[in-house]
A = this chain, B = another copy of it.
């Protein structure tokens, strides 16, 4: 028998394995056996730490929610201008996706959303918060003149979240053939440029 670890460490390992495998084989194809093999324990051991697979997903959801929220807070605190905060928010989101590539798949997966209503609501709430943070800073940009008055901040926020999602999907399906963060920031600046013009 191999090394035994305290429950908290093992739980973390299991959640990390889940996030990794969700990216490689898909959130729904993922079995407890896959996770166990990845962690290096038997399949039964998974259930020593999580009563059901659904509970395991719930825990993973909490981890994701925590990471995103913290990343957003740091982004907001790191810059003083609305435009700076906006760019920091998008950059933070791209960085989160790059370190946890399963994120878009999990957030938007109809699979998970169908059977785990709590998780779905949690994620939907998260995305709403992100959208609202973007819109608030876009309003600030209208005030300080770095964005046109001819576009509603809410509409611009939709354009920006779509941009992040679209790039993430293209990156994910295209076997990560380009640098996500660099490409994302470049296109964000293109979008911000045309949002600024005419004022």
Cβ contact within 8 Å between A187 and B155: yes
Chain B nearest Cβ from A153, distance in angstroms: 12
Chain B nearest Cβ from A144, distance in angstroms: 18
- Known contacts A162-B167, A166-B166, A187-B159; A29 and B111 CB within 8 A of each other: yes
Which residues on the B side are within 8 Å of A173 (C-beta)?
108, 110, 113, 120, 124
Q: Does A77 contact B (CB under 8 A)?
A: no
Once the chains are docked, how many angstroms separate the CA of A108 from the CA of B109? 10
Residues of A23-42 whose CB lies within 8 A of B: 23, 25-29
Chain B nearest Cβ from A81, distance in angstroms: 21
Cβ contact within 8 Å between B26 and A111: yes
Once the chains are docked, how many angstroms separate the CA of A162 from the CA of B198? 23
Cβ contact within 8 Å between B29 and A190: no
Which residues on the B side are within 8 Å of A114 (C-beta)?
25-26, 29
User: Which residue of chain B is the closest to A115 with respect to CB atoms?
Assistant: B29
Q: Does A93 contact B (CB under 8 A)?
A: no
Q: Does A12 contact B (CB under 8 A)?
A: no
Cβ contact within 8 Å between B25 and A194: no
Chain B nearest Cβ from A28, distance in angstroms: 5
Other A-B contacts than A28-B29, A108-B108, A165-B166, 9 sampled, CB-CB below 8 A, are A23-B110, A26-B110, A27-B110, A108-B169, A108-B173, A124-B174, A151-B194, A162-B167, A198-B198
